[in-house]
Chain A
Amino acid sequence: MTEKTRKKEKIPRQAMPEQEPDVRKHNFDEVPLGYSKDLAMLEAGRCLNCKKPVCVEGCPVSVDIPGFIKLIKEDKLTESIRLVWEKNSLPAVCGRVCPQEAQCEGLCILGKKGDPVAIGNLERFVADHERNHGAGELPPKAASTGKKVAIVGSGPSGLTVAGDLIAKGHEVTIFEAFHKPGGVLVYGIPEFRLPKEIVYSEVNFLERLGANLQCNMVIGRTVSMEELFEEGFDAIYVGVGAGLPSFLNIPGENLIGIYSANEYLTRANLMKAYLFPEYDTPIAKGKNVAVFGAGNVAMDAARTAMRLGADTVRVIYRRSRDEMPARAAELHHAEEEGIEFYLLTAPTRFIGDEDGRITGMECLKMELGEPDASGRRRPVPIENSKFQLECDLAVIAVGAGANPLLTQSTKDIETNKWGYIIAEPETGKTTYKGVWAGGDIVSGQATVILAMGAGRMSSISMHNYLTWGW
């Protein structure tokens, strides 16, 4: 280890100030409060500015990590955010929700001996600083090409394509099925993790750049893909996400009080049911809540239930702690807030009362057997391990599938056997001429940054097409 490395390690990783668990579990305000400029400078000071920055290899969109951190150190915050924007158009979002421990920070050289540089926190810092204090200057735009592009779905994937293509001089219209833009960023991820303000400000930025946003447009129903072409769009990007809830398919699943995570979180976030009756959409407030699954979605549901006033919230998962796919920060926050984990446990049926409301469930204990196709050890039921748990609210967060609404009404788009759209891996081109697709509707539910990466790739291919042809 060089002298330089040793010295840098002396500065510990700067924790981001947070709301105390006992306070935050009763409100929907954001949990981490953000770095002050001093903290950000201190943390930026830890980066070694590596010649061969391995962190960048961990970032799906190759943000120039040492570059933007160096600019923070030099107090050139506007230059810093501009550098991030070159690769990532939603840094305030990614800084908050990327699974950094598995991506950029997971590879940071400092992580070998101690704690990696808090890349996500720094990215969030420069983005927030620009949003709150920046001049709001618009980036330069290429001269108009006269080409029209339709973007279906306003999740991170669609927004990325919109930003890229508008900068290249194309006319962009975004069609969104919901009454508000943002996709999962708005209907799924809760306010306490990603304030909706941030997403709307990103969308607003695109609108200021000239993008036309049309909500309440269910493509395939209100207007078909063919009609979009007839109306004069030259190319279409499909980024409709993986909007189909998975259920457990066990008896009793239609009892009142059993929600898909999509429904539970949509009510809470998009419809603001946590402000009921000020907002009109109701949501069940459970005392004993069970959440199935162990990804980010499950953590979001569990922490939402806690904030809605639950006494106990249990996350029930059939595998062990090591297999839990949620971001490290989410697990940590959930535990701090008093969420209990029932690992190696699988539900077998739900139990209800005569009014059809859930009162409990029956579970089996599991143990880990041989590895399965995913490489993870398969959970196998332990004999005679049946037991019952009481609960009055259950949220099922075991994944999502491909929503067939658009693909079924668009026969030229081919899908695979699970209903995901088939798109060329290097370009995002679908089997329908003039149509690209990316994000969760191609990959299955993944991450924000991968959906954005897919959008970036497609936008390059679309620009080529609009310039040179298919």
Chain B
Amino acid sequence: MFEILKRQEMANGTVVMNEINAPLIAKKAQPGQFVILKANETGERIPLTMADSNPQKGTITIIYQIVGKSTSIFKSLQVGETFQDIIGPLGQATHLENVGTVVCVGGGTGVAVVHPITRALKEKGNNVKAIIGARTKDLIILEDKMKAASHELFVCTDDGSYGHHGFVTDILKDILQKEDVKLVVGIGPVPMMNFLCKVTEEFKVKTLVSLNAIMVDGTGMCGCCRVSVGGKTKFACVDGPEFDGHEVDFKELSQRLQAYTKEEAVALDKYNCTCKAS
């Protein structure tokens, strides 16, 4: 059993942060790695990146967007309550080194995933620029933390309600034109990562993305999370989740993420009904 020690709602309650007691995982966790969580006996195994970890306190932090039944159940868990199962750390850690100027881009909840990587790249001595974006002002998360983790932070909103009016890629293009950028890390919704890779490809700048394929075990046992990278099939859970964005087949990934849309709608409906009824 893994106890929730801290809980905070963000972005108007569409995103939740949990700090959880998981000493063994906290001891090993590296930026870029994820855990699989299962709330209760009937629950699904859900992968979430560790937004932070503290080996001294023995805690890990997750930040997740409420999108369906499982994340709704997670949201209902309060401080003092527990996740039945947490498995990790899983996946390859981000390869961190000093390369010069890097740009870290986070879209939506992707900001939570890119934050520990941004911080670690800064600690390695890189010149770190960060760009975060969301649909509207209220959905921007972790602005302060991203500011601290980078040398320069740009904020964008699709509707212009805060910061730059437009997409993260607008700012990225600007930076790529002006500076000699060695690496871009882009994490967010699949269409954003896809578009971002098109931009960086033009400038021939190496780009890392983190792929959120549907998973079951997270240990390379089932092949559910397969993605095409450079024309080869890879398992996102053990070969990734980070890959060279210029090699990723984003169309296949976004299609595969739709595999259970019908079932997910049924599950969420049923959950919301019974929740309201009781």
Contact = CB atoms under 8 A, between A and B. Distances in A.
* A and B interact physically: yes
Interface string A395-410: 0000000011100000
Interface string B132-156: 0000000000000000000000000
B116 interface: no
A223 B89 CA distance: 10
Interface string A272-283: 100011111110
B255 A276 contact: no
B217 A256 contact: no
Specify the main secondary structure of chain A where it touches its partner: loop
Contacts of B217: 177-178, 266
Interface residues of B, number: 43
Given A221-B88, A223-B24, A276-B267, A271 B220 contact: no
A267 B216 contact: yes
A216 B24 CA distance: 11
B222 A280 contact: no
B19 to A, nearest CB: 19
Contact of B42 (A179, A247, A260, A278): A278
A243 interface: yes
Interface in A266-314: 266-267, 271-272, 276-282, 284
Contact of A245 (B42, B44, B223): B223
A429 to B, nearest CB: 26
Contact of A277 (B90, B238, B252, B270): B270
A201 interface: no
Given A282-B264, A282-B267, A355-B255, A243 B219 contact: yes
Nearest to B260: A282
Contacts, number: 113
Nearest to B46: A280
A222 B251 CA distance: 33
B270 to A, nearest CB: 5
Contacts of B200: none
B263 A276 contact: yes
B86 interface: yes
A253 B233 contact: yes
Contacts of A178: 217
Interface size class of A (residues with CB under 8 A): 35 or more
Interface string B215-232: 011011111101110000
21 contacts: A179-B38, A216-B85, A222-B25, A222-B88, A222-B89, A244-B220, A245-B223, A247-B223, A253-B233, A254-B227, A254-B256, A256-B256, A266-B217, A271-B45, A277-B69, A280-B44, A281-B44, A282-B264, A356-B255, A403-B219, A404-B220
* Cβ-closest 7 pairs across A and B: A356-B255, A282-B263, A263-B222, A280-B44, A243-B221, A179-B85, A260-B223
Given A259-B224, A280-B43, A403-B219, 10 more contacts: A177-B87, A216-B85, A218-B87, A254-B233, A254-B252, A256-B259, A263-B216, A266-B216, A277-B267, A280-B70
Interface of B: 24-25, 28, 38, 42-45, 69-70, 73, 84-90, 216-217, 219-224, 226-228, 233, 238, 251-252, 255-256, 258-260, 263-264, 266-267, 270
Interface of A: 177-179, 215-218, 221-223, 243-245, 247, 253-254, 256-257, 259-260, 262-263, 266-267, 271-272, 276-282, 284, 355-356, 403-405
